[in-house]
Each structure stands twice: as structure tokens, then as C-alpha cells.
């Protein structure tokens, strides 16, 4: 089977540090947590970074940091993983679905402008499949309307627009380190931002509501434990060191792939020249005469693992039933996109020949 994902980490790379952790018996809140956090900060050039258990917990904390409350409206990109809207729903706020470009798959600025109301309190822009294409334009609109911008950069570590890395563009950025991502800690996430005004909030809330004064903890608020253990942080540190090389190599594979299957009618997600794209997922629109689900099944029978692009949030059963506001472009992309494996050594020739035989 040609697998969709290949993790960029081996046991040999972490063995020494894992041994050190086991011998010390110090499994959390140690030097590797601090090192990984510092590395994320330095890599993104953000002023502040915090680690979390996932992008979902990171996004939830971002909304709380911005004091988003029940009945507030939060505009979200509609082509994403459901977590993007779920975090809004979970705090009782209302996700307003903004449709996306059929080329870049990212939030349309016209959609954002149209959907801003007096109830809008924040915007969540998703770097679709890792591409931040258009985020600066969205940021400008947010600034014009005095709205905070959260970047759902779950897929986007290693990407940038205009030379500015994801993590240092929006007011708050949230990353995921799930195994589907380029950099994985098994599960995990991070929050980055530049504004000092959020520091106390995250310091206290991510530490059970505690501050440490006069040699003891004082629980001045209620809070959470979204910590990442030492072992996982070692994995993160090792992958971050080689992330730029990984991104380069995935772009090389992407270029070969695009050249080979564009003549078959597949249209790749457009990424502008201002973008460095990490190629988190190599996604194509399938030709109009092809049924995507049947193609995925055929490829599976031929030993090639593929999947859909991602989801139209407004079209999922829950959100469609509740809000009845399905966005046409996001729906079209959900039904007509396919993700191919994209890593060094993937047998592109076999995949292309298999596609050529598909009737
Ligand atoms: C765009 C997007 N946002 C949020 C998430 C949730 O990430 P996590 O699994 O780390 O909570 C994902 C996961 O795939 C995602 O793709």
C-alpha cells in the first residue's frame, strides 16, 4: 500500500533524550517542554508561544483569550476540519460560515465583508491544507473593522505569506501536531501571538488558574491542564530542526506530481507566488466526469491510499441541521477534491499510470 502519510520522525532520533527522560523520571513541565516552546517561538518569530494538547484546545483558548461569549458571532472559513467551527459552538457563540475560493480554497474576502455584522466578535481564517494564501488581505479587513483575527494554522507550520511565517501574521495562531501534520508529537498543538496583553491570560489559564507568589500557588482563577509531556516535546524539537528541508522536499514532489497529472484533467489547489507552502496535503480537484468517491475506492484497490480534500463545515449534518446555511463552493470542494500522498520516494509513476487506466 502506498500510504497517505509518512511521519518525519524515527525512534533513533529521539532515543537518547527518551532515555534521559526515563532515567530522570521527569515526564512533564521540564526542559524539553521549555525548549520546544522556545523553538516554536523562534521558528515563527512570534513574541509568545504556548504549547497545548491539540489545535482544538489551542483554538478554544484563543476564543477565551478574546473573551468570545455566548451569542457572539465568529466568522469561520467553511472549508476545514469541523474543529474550526466546533470550538465556536462549544462556547455558545455562533459560527458564521464564510465561503472559500474555488482556486485557493481559502476564505473569500468578499464573503468576509458581507458577513460582518454588529454581532461579529472575531474571525477564524483557516490555512486550507496548510496554505495561508490571502491571509494578509483578510487581516486588512479585520483591522478595518477592528476585529481580532485567529489563524487556524492547524496544518500550516512551515508556511508563510510575503515572507512572514504562519504564527506571526494573525492576532493569535493555533497549530496542530496531530500525526496527519508535517510535524507531529502524536497529539499536540501550540498558540502563538505578539500582543503582551494575552500573556497573563495564558500563563494563568493554562496552569489551572494559578499564579506562583511568595513560594506558593495562589489559584486566582479557574483554569485548565492542556500540557504536552516531555517525550512528545522531544519529537517536536527534532522535527522542527528539519522542517524547512521537509517543506522543500514536499514542494519538489508536488511539482513533479502536478506536471504529471494536470494533463489528466486534475487541477491542483492554487498557491500564489507570495506563499511558501508546506504542502501539508497535496489536493487536486478531480475532472468533472469523475466521481471522487469511486476514484478513491479504485485507487485503494490498486494499493494507493488517498482521501477527500477536507470538509464543508456548513454542510456537515450537525451544522446543516442547525443553521441551514450551506456554502456552495466549500460543498463543491468537499465533494470533488482528492488528497494524494506527497513525500520523498512516493511512487508517482505508479500513481499516474494507475490514474491513466481509470475508466
Ligand atoms: C484546519 C484544522 N483545524 C483544526 C484541527 C484540529 O486539530 P487537532 O486534531 O490538533 O485538535 C484540524 C485537524 O485536522 C484541522 O485540519
Q: What is the CATH number of the domain that holds 280?
A: 3.90.1150.10
Q: Which of 194, 222, 241 is the last residue of a domain?
A: 241
72 with 91, same domain: the answer is yes
Strands (E), 99-167: 120-126, 149-152, 160-161, 164-165
96 with 227, same domain: the answer is yes
Beta-carbon contacts of 88 under 8 Å, excluding residues fewer than 6 positions away, are 63, 68, 74, 76, 94, 95, 124
- The pLDDT profile of the chain, 359 residues, written as one tens digit per residue, is 999 999 999 999 999 999 999 999 999 999 999 999 999 999 999 999 999 999 999 999 999 999 999 999 999 999 999 999 999 999 999 999 999 999 999 999 999 999 999 999 999 999 999 999 999 999 999 999 999 999 999 999 999 999 999 999 999 999 999 999 999 999 999 999 999 999 999 999 999 999 999 999 999 999 999 999 999 999 999 999 999 999 999 999 999 999 999 999 999 999 999 999 999 999 999 999 999 999 999 999 999 999 999 999 999 999 999 999 999 999 999 999 999 999 999 999 999 999 999 97
Q: What are phi and psi of 41, to 5 degrees?
A: -60, -50
Q: Which of 198, 220, 241 is the last residue of a domain?
A: 241
Q: How far is the CA of 22 from the centre of ligand 1 (A)?
A: 30
69 with 193, same domain: the answer is yes
Assigned C-alpha cell, 239: 522535527
What residues pair up with 77 in beta bridges, in sequence order? 98
**Domain of 207, in residue numbers:** 11-241
Q: How far is the CA of 266 from the centre of ligand 1 (A)?
A: 26
Ligand 1: which residues within 6 Å by Cβ? 54-56, 80-81, 83-84, 126, 152, 154-155, 176, 178, 180, 189
130 with 16, same domain: the answer is yes
Count the domains in the chain. Answer: 2
Mutate to test the pocket of ligand 1, among 86, 178, 330 (most ligand atoms within 8 A of CB): 178
Q: Read off the CATH number of the domain in which 108 is found.
A: 3.40.640.10
Residue ranges in 169-316 assigned as alpha helix (H): 199-205, 230-241, 243-261, 292-301
* Spatial contact of 43 and 167, defined as CB atoms under 8 Å apart: yes
Classify residue 309 by its DSSP letter.
S
Q: How far is the CA of 154 from the centre of ligand 1 (A)?
A: 5
157 with 187, same domain: the answer is yes
* Spatial contact of 189 and 174, defined as CB atoms under 8 Å apart: yes
Cα separation of 332 and 337, whole Å? 8
Q: How far is the CA of 295 from the centre of ligand 1 (A)?
A: 25
136 with 31, same domain: the answer is yes
Q: What is the pTM of this model?
A: 0.98
Q: Which of 225, 241, 257 is the last residue of a domain?
A: 241
Amino acid at each position: 500500500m502506498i500510504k497517505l502519510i509518512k511521519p518525519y520522525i524515527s525512534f533513533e532520533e529521539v532515543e537518547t533524550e527518551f532515555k534521559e527522560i526515563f532515567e530522570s523520571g521527569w515526564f512533564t513541565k521540564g526542559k524539553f517542554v521549555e525548549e520546544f516552546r522556545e523553538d516554536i517561538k523562534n521558528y515563527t518569530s512570534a513574541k509568545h508561544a504556548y504549547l497545548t494538547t491539540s489545535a482544538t484546545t489551542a483554538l478554544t483558548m484563543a476564543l477565551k483569550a478574546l473573551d468570545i461569549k455566548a451569542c457572539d458571532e465568529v466568522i469561520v472559513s467553511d472549508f476545514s476540519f469541523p474543529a474550526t467551527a466546533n470550538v465556536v459552538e462549544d462556547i455558545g457563540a455562533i459560527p458564521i460560515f464564510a465561503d472559500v475560493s474555488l482556486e485557493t480554497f481559502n476564505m473569500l474576502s468578499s464573503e468576509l465583508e458581507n458577513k460582518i455584522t454588529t454581532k461579529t466578535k472575531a474571525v477564524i481564517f483557516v490555512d486550507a491544507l496548510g496554505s495561508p494564501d490571502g491571509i494578509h488581505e483578510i487581516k486588512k479587513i479585520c483591522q478595518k473593522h477592528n476585529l481580532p483575527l485567529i489563524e487556524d494554522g492547524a496544518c500550516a507550520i512551515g508556511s508563510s505569506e510575503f515572507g512572514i511565517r504562519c504564527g506571526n501574521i494573525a492576532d493569535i495562531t493555533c497549530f496542530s501536531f496531530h500525526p496527519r501534520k508535517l510535524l507531529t508529537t502524536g497529539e499536540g498543538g501550540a498558540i502563538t501571538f505578539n500582543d503582551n496583553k494575552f500573556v497573563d491570560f495564558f500563563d494563568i489559564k493554562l496552569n489551572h488558574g494559578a499564579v506562583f507568589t511568595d513560594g506558593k500557588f495562589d489559584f486566582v482563577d479557574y483554569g485548565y491542564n492542556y500540557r504536552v509531556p516531555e517525550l512528545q516535546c522531544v519529537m517536536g524539537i527534532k522535527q522542527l530542526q528539519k522542517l524547512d528541508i521537509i517543506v522543500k522536499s514536499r514542494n519538489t514532489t508536488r511539482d513533479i506530481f502536478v506536471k504529471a497529472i494536470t494533463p489528466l484533467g486534475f487541477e491542483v489547489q492554487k498557491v500564489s507566488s507570495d506563499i511558501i507552502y508546506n504542502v501539508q496535503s497535496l489536493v487536486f480537484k478531480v475532472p468533472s466526469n469523475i466521481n471522487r468517491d469511486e476514484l478513491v475506492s479504485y485507487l485503494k484497490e490498486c494499493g494507493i491510499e488517498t482521501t477527500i480534500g477536507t470538509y464543508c463545515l456548513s454542510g456537515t449534518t450537525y451544522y446543516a441541521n442547525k443553521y441551514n446555511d450551506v456554502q456552495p463552493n466549500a460543498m463543491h470542494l468537499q465533494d470533488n477534491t482528492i488528497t494524494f500522498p506527497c513525500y520523498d520516494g512516493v511512487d508517482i509513476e505508479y500513481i499516474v499510470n494507475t490514474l491513466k487506466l481509470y475508466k
